[in-house]
Amino acid sequence: DSGVTQTPKHLITATGQRVTLRCSPRSGDLSVYWYQQSLDQGLQFLIQYYNGEERAKGNILERFSAQQFPDLHSELNLSSLELGDSALYFCASSVGQISEAFFGQGTRLTVV
Amino acid sequence: GQNIDQPTEMTATEGAIVQINCTYQTSGFNGLFWYQQHAGEAPTFLSYNVLDGLEEKGRFSSFLSRSKGYSYLLLKELQMKDSASYLCAVRDNAGNMLTFGGGTRLMVKP
C-alpha cells in the first residue's frame, strides 16, 4: 500500500458524460501528478500540482481539467467523454519536487 | 521536452541476470527513476539516480551516465515474480514533470 488513495476504483459511463476522479496523496506529500495509461500503452503525464498550484502540464486535453484543494487532495475532471478516453488513470504523490513519486492503485475508466 | 527509449520486450531465464537499458534526451534533467509495474496494477518505485554511478538495492541495481544520457536496471537472481513491465522515468530540471518511457515488458521463464 503506497498510501495514495484513488476513488473510485472502477467507473463505467457513457459517451458525452462527465466524471470526476479523486486522489488523496500520502500524508505530508505536497505534489500530486495525474497520468493516463491506455491499454498496453505507457504512462502519459497529464498534469502536476504542488501545494495547490499547477506546476506542469503534459498532454492533457482541453476537455480535461484538474485541481488541488487546500487539504491537498486532487480531482481530475473528464468531460464530453469519448470511447478513446477509456484507460487507467493514475494519481501519484511526492513529498517535494525531487523525491520519488508513489502511485495510487488507479481508476479504471470505461466509456461505452 | 523529453524523449525516453527502452526496449519493448525482453525474455530471461529464472535465476539469471538481465539488464534493461534506457536512453534519454531531455531539455533538463533532475533525476532518473525506475519503476516496476505488473499488468493492471500501480507502478512501484524501485530506484533513483541523480549522480553518475551505480546504486544497489538488493537484487536490483541501477546505473546512470548523465553525459551519455543512459541508464540501466540490472536484475539479479531472477524470479518468476519479476515478470512485469519496467518503466524508466526522467524528472525535468524544474523538478516538475516526471516523464516515463514506454516500459520494457520482461518475461521470466523457468
pLDDT at A96 exceeding the cut of 80: no
| Structure confidence at residue B95 as a pLDDT band (50, 70, 90) | low
Of A15-19, A26-30, A55-59, the poorest mean pLDDT is in A55-59
Q: Does A86 contact B at CB distance below 8 Å? A: no
**Which residue among A2, A45, A50 places its CB closest to the CB of B98?**
A45
Q: Would you state the cell numbers that stand for residue A74, as one nine-digit string? A: 486532487
What CA–CA distance (Å, rounded) separates B24 from A96? Answer: 23
Give residues with Cβ within 8 angstroms of B81, minimum separation 6. Answer: none
**Which residue among A58, A90, A97 places its CB closest to the CB of B42?**
A90
**Which residue among A2, A41, A96 places its CB closest to the CB of B42?**
A2
Q: What is the mean pLDDT of residues A19-48?
A: 92
pLDDT digits (tens, 9 = 90+) for B40-58: 899 999 999 999 999 998 9
Q: Would you state the cell numbers that stand for residue B6, as one nine-digit string? A: 527502452
> Does the distance separating the beta carbons of A104 and B42 come in below 8 Å?
yes
Assess contact for B90 and B64: CB atoms under 8 A.
Answer: no
> Does the distance separating the beta carbons of A48 and B42 come in below 8 Å?
no
Q: Does A68 contact B at CB distance below 8 Å? A: no
CA A77 to the chain's CA centroid: 9
Does residue B37 come out as left (phi exceeding 0), alpha (psi in the -120 to 50 range) or beta?
Answer: beta
Selected for mutation to probe chain A from B55, B97, B99, B100 (highest A CB count within 10 Å) is B97
> Does the distance separating the beta carbons of A100 and B97 come in below 8 Å?
no
